[in-house]
Structures are given as C-alpha cells and as structure tokens.
C-alpha cells in the first residue's frame, strides 16, 4: 500500500460514472490523491493546469486517442480497455511502452500497474542524481531535458564530450527514461572485443546486437573499433532490421560525422548510428556547477575511503579551474582519492591537492666518454679480465689476432 505522505496525484478519466466513483474510492484508500474527469485534455495542454503523477484513462473516454499517440504522455498513463477493443488495429497501436489493463480487472491489478509505472518513472530520476547530470545553467538543463524527451522517441542518440564529462551516466539515464527501460542496456566497446578475431568477432557482434534487440546498445567510441569490427557491426544491425533493432546510443569524443570524413568510421555505420546529438561540456566550462560537482565527488570519495567528508572551499575551486580540471570527473576523483589517503589528520584539502611531488634526486653521473681510444682501451681491459689475463682467449673474444692484441697492450701501457 502506498503511504499518503507521498502526495501522488492521480487523475481518473472514466466515462462510466459508477466505475469512476468506485476507482476513486479505492485509489484514495490506497493513499493516492485522486481527481476524476469524464474526458481528457490533449497532452499538449497537460501542463496548463494541475500536474498529476499518473493518469488512469479509459480508452472509451473523449480525448484518449491523443494520449495513445504521444509516447511521452503515454508513459505516465495506465489505460483501461473493454473486451470490445481487442482488435489487431489496437494491438498495432499499443507498443511495449503503453500499459493497458483490460476489463474486468481487480483493484489489486490496477494498483500493481500503477506501482510498476511509478517505479519505471522513478528509475531515471535516480540516475539523474549523478552530480554531472545536475546543473544551474539553464542552457545545459535544457540539453538534459531535451535528451530525456528524445529518449522516449526511440531514435539513435549521440553523446559527445571529453573523458569524464558524464557521457556514460547520461546514456544510462536516457535508457532508463526510454520506452525500452524494461529491457537491458548492452555495452559495446573495443576493449571487450580484443580477444575476438575473424569469424569469432562477427559471431560475437551478431550475438550482442541480438541480445540488445529489444533494448539499448551503447556503442563506446565507434571510431576506435577496428574496421573489421565496424563492418561486422553494421552487418549485424542490417540483419536485425526485420526482427527488431536495438536502440543505439553512442558516446564519442569527436563528432561522428568528423570521424566519418576522416575515414576513421565507415560511412554505413555512421548513417546507422547518427541521430540526435548532445555535447556534454567539460567541467572547466561549467562554472556555475563546479563547486557543487566537486563537493559531491569529494563526499563520495571520502565515503568510499571511510573518511570524514572534506570541506571544499571556493578558493580551491578557483585553483582547480585554473588547472582546467584535467580528466574532468575521473581526474578529480583520482586527485581527491590520493589527497584524502595522504590526509591523515590534515583537513586542508587545498594544500594536499596542490602539494609538490616529493621525488628523490639521484646523483647525476657524468656521461661516459665517447672517445674511441678510451672505449677501445676499456674494452681490452674488460676482455683481459674475463680471460684472467690469457691473451689468446682475450684476442678470440675481441675477434682480433694475438699479435694485434699484444700491440694494443703495448700502445695503451697495459703491461
């Protein structure tokens, strides 16, 4: 049973007055705040009035068809349908992203559907808690929200940005917000294919694409895949087109079209992967977010080490900004982890992060002489030493005659 403190508002759109009243009473007892209506406004106007966490819409109600056609709106609905609407045409319109409960049904079945829908909606919210997916910059916030809107439309998505800018976190959040969130997200990157060659590589790629057919395939740096792997991947995507193709999300440092122009990415694979593109800026460009991001990462690293959370001062952020935040999240995590391990009783995080490296300086030896005479004399001395003074053995080791060795010994005063 849901707790009433959740404050979840549900709208029930049901033309039958008796059923409408019965559902309202039952859902109210379960802890929902319930409103009822006979008809529903178009999805485009849903933000004009009261906002609801979910809607229960009977397909027989006026305006229901508009909610069926809009994937973003349908994701917040549980639809009710009578036996009479079990037709092939409706089945074609209802995808896996739509939740339809056929009459007659129990209130327990409706509660289960609502809880499942709420859980699916909350999943991307949990993933959005990543510090790099939160921002005070209105332009970046709009990029994130636009990404989540596109995620529900099932088209390819390209995420560009430097290492450590949150590309993977954004990709996982987009998958969780998509209509394929109930299926798995499979990751494909060159390091995971290193052991595969020849037909084994092609088989492995076909297998991975088939596994992701109903879900999402995350392709990491596709331009770094060997050309054999690129051809096998495009072939696998081509072959799955009739039976179901995975939704592809790519993450890369350079734009895919640039990689294609430079010949690092095959043309066909570029066309199959290209879609809505979002660039994640490096931390050095996110001035409004630097303090919050660094504080969040510092606290998490401290928790992992079992240490007290450090205080991140604005002055420290300014010094890190002057450094340009190399490595973004990864670079910051590495520096913080090293600093906190060294911290012991010190709480001055800035001095630890910018502590000069302690290196032992070995005495500098003068470079060996490159004078040919000196080198020759030293070589003869070593050869005689190895041969215990035996000139015959020493001359054999040096590749010269005993007579020549005798003359060299005389010349260099080695008697």
Could you tell me the residue ranges of all domains in the chain? Answer: 4-120, 128-281, 284-353, 374-411
- Residue 278: strand pairing partners: 159
Is the distance from CB of 333 to CB of 304 less than 8 angstroms? no
Provide the pLDDT for residue 275.
92
| DSSP symbol at 370 | -
Q: Is 128-281 the same fold as 4-120? A: yes
Q: 3-state SS string over 24-37?
A: HHHHHHCCCEEEEE
**How confident is the model at residue 251, as a pLDDT?**
96
Residue 92 scores a pLDDT above 80: no
Q: How large is the greatest C-alpha to C-alpha distance in the chain, in angstroms?
A: 123
Q: Which of 94, 87, 92 is nearest to 79 (CA)?
A: 94
pLDDT score recorded for residue 84: 58
- Extract the tokens encoding 154: 């099932």
Task: Quote the pLDDT of residue 6.
Answer: 44
How does pLDDT run across 269-310, given as a tens digit for each residue?
999 999 999 999 999 999 999 999 999 898 888 888 888 778
CATH T-level topology, domain 374-411: Arc Repressor Mutant, subunit A (1.10.10)
CATH of domain 4-120: 3.40.50.2300
Domain 128-281 superfamily per CATH: P-loop containing nucleotide triphosphate hydrolases (3.40.50.300)
Compute the chain's Rg from CA coordinates: 34
- pTM over 0.85? The answer is no
Share of the chain above pLDDT 70, in %: 80
pLDDT at residue 209, as a whole number: 87
Question: Token pair 């040096």 is at which residue?
Answer: 398
Pick one of 1.10.357, 1.10.8, 3.40.50, 1.10.1760 as the CATH number of 284-353: 1.10.8
Measure the CA–CA gap between 259 and 157, rounded to whole angstroms.
16
Q: If we measure between CA atoms, which residue out of 116, 217, 233, 127 comes closest to residue 172? A: 127
């Amino acid at each position: 049973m849901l707790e009433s403190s959740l404050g979840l508002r549900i709208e029930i759109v049901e033309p039958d007055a008796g059923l409408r009243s019965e559902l309202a009473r039952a859902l109210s007892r379960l802890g929902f705040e319930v409103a009822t209506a006979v008809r529903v406004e178009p999805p485009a106007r849903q933000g004009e009035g009261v906002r609801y966490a979910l809607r229960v819409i009977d397909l027989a109600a006026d305006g229901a068809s508009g909610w069926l056609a809009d994937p973003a709106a349908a994701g917040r609905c549980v639809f009710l349908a009578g036996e009479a609407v079990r037709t092939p045409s409706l089945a074609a319109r209802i995808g896996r992203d739509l939740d339809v409960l056929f009459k007659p049904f129990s209130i327990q079945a409706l509660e289960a559907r609502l809880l499942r829908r709420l859980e699916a909606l909350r999943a991307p919210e949990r993933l959005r808690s990543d510090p790099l997916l939160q921002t005070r910059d209105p332009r970046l916030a709009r990029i994130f929200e636009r990404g989540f809107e596109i995620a529900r439309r099932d088209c390819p998505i390209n995420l560009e940005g430097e290492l450590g800018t949150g590309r993977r976190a954004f990709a996982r959040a987009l998958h969780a917000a998509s209509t394929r969130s109930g299926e798995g997200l499979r990751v494909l990157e060159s390091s995971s294919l290193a052991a595969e060659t020849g037909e084994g590589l092609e088989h492995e790629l076909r297998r991975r694409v088939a596994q992701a057919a109903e879900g999402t395939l995350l392709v990491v740096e596709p331009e770094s895949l060997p050309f054999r792997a690129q051809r096998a991947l495009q072939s696998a995507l081509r072959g799955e087109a009739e039976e179901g193709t995975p939704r592809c999300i790519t993450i890369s440092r350079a734009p895919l079209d640039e990689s294609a122009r430079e010949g690092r990415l095959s043309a066909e694979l570029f066309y199959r992967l290209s879609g809505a593109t979002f660039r994640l800026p490096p931390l050095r460009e996110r001035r409004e977010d630097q303090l919050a991001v660094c504080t969040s990462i510092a606290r998490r690293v401290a928790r992992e080490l079992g240490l007290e959370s450090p205080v991140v001062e604005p002055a420290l952020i300014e010094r890190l900004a002057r450094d340009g935040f190399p490595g973004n999240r990864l670079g910051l995590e590495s520096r913080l982890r090293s600093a906190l391990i060294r911290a012991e009783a010190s709480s001055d995080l800035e001095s630890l992060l910018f502590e000069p490296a302690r290196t032992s300086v070995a005495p500098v030896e003068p470079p060996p002489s490159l004078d040919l005479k000196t080198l020759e004399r030293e070589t003869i001395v070593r050869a005689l030493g190895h041969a215990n003074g035996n000139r015959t053995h020493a001359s054999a080791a040096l590749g010269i005659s005993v007579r020549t060795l005798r003359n060299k010994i005389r010349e260099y005063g080695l008697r």
